[in-house]
Structure 1
């Protein structure tokens, strides 16, 4: 899907970290997006990510309004084509199609680089993210009950369930599973 009018997708770079960090901080504070209690530094964040897959969505003023990044799920050879992603959209931009555009672009970039599966775990109560992923073609493949305790936000200290989603990228994968 194309980004909404006035929005461009660009490769994520260190210079955009303040905008990425601001949106990541919203996710931590909201309590439904991450088990992280604090936002990592750019160095720690980027060291865990696949640089060629990170993207930001920017507005007409080049302000970051959303981002997506991916990490390998394992160092094992068998899982070389499986990545896990995170996608965040500025709360003020929710519902405009920014997340859908970021997910679509990630899928295209990952497929072009030989990845065959994108997966994620979403807090069960994060209904907006779950709907976004279903809209983007992800399918629900399971649930982890009480997998971890939230460390920040309104759910701090509470056990959280996560719902697992995946998107198969290789030809015919959906028909085979």
Structure 2
């Protein structure tokens, strides 16, 4: 993910937020907020003809030293590009980069309704390790005002 990629990353992130099934975030963070919480070597983009059509990024799950090899990731694909395998490519590259950089676990919390993401993660070897019921109250989109569950997926590298 290069410095000049932000506008496309922001747009695709905003599309995910609007869907109501990608994140609890109600607003796209600023570029500096986004980048300051992400691991640079685990920030990737997918392009087609020079246009960014998806991105993946990971953050540390904890500041504790014992968890230094555990990251939580996100993958977002432009909805107009859905079904082309972009998410699979991004996830594969993220896994390879995490492994090459010494990380040992990748995890993600996915809404139960996000069946495409859940299937993608299972195909990539992630396993479902638990369900967090009514973990947070949705503040935006079609689920606004409703308590939401998330399903935790992880992959040991």
> TM class by shorter-chain length?
over 0.9
- The answer to whether the 8 Å contact 1:65/1:89 transfers is yes
CA offsets, 1:25-71, max 9 Å, x none? Answer: 011100000000000011000000001110000111x1110000000
CA offsets, 1:122-156, max 9 Å, x none? Answer: 01111111111111111100000000011211001
From the CA coordinates, give the structure whose radius of gyration is larger.
1
Q: Is structure 2 residue 24 aligned with structure 1 residue 25? A: no
Matches within 5 A, 1:44-59: 44-59=33-48
Indicate the SS of the match to 2:26. Answer: coil
Looking at structure 2, the residues matched to 73 and 131 of structure 1 have their Cα atoms a distance apart, in angstroms, of 23
- The answer to whether the 8 Å contact 1:88/1:99 transfers is yes
Aligned to 1:128: 116
Where does structure 1 differ by over 4 angstroms across 4 or more consecutive aligned residues? none
Question: Could you list the runs of 5+ residues in structure 2 that have no partner in the other structure?
Answer: none
CA RMSD of aligned residues (A): 0.6
TM-score, structure 2 as length reference: 0.98
Q: Is structure 2 residue 92 aligned with structure 1 residue 112? A: no
Aligned to 2:52: 64
Aligned to 2:4: 15
Looking at structure 2, the residues matched to 56 and 151 of structure 1 have their Cα atoms a distance apart, in angstroms, of 28
Aligned to 2:25: 36
Out of 62, 83, 92, the position equivalent to 2:80 is 92
Indicate the SS of the match to 1:95. Answer: coil
Query: What is the number of residues matched between the two proteins?
Result: 157
- The answer to whether the 8 Å contact 1:122/1:164 transfers is yes
Question: Could you list the runs of 5+ residues in structure 1 that have no partner in the other structure?
Answer: 1-11, 170-177
Indicate the SS of the match to 1:137. Answer: coil
Aligned to 1:175: none
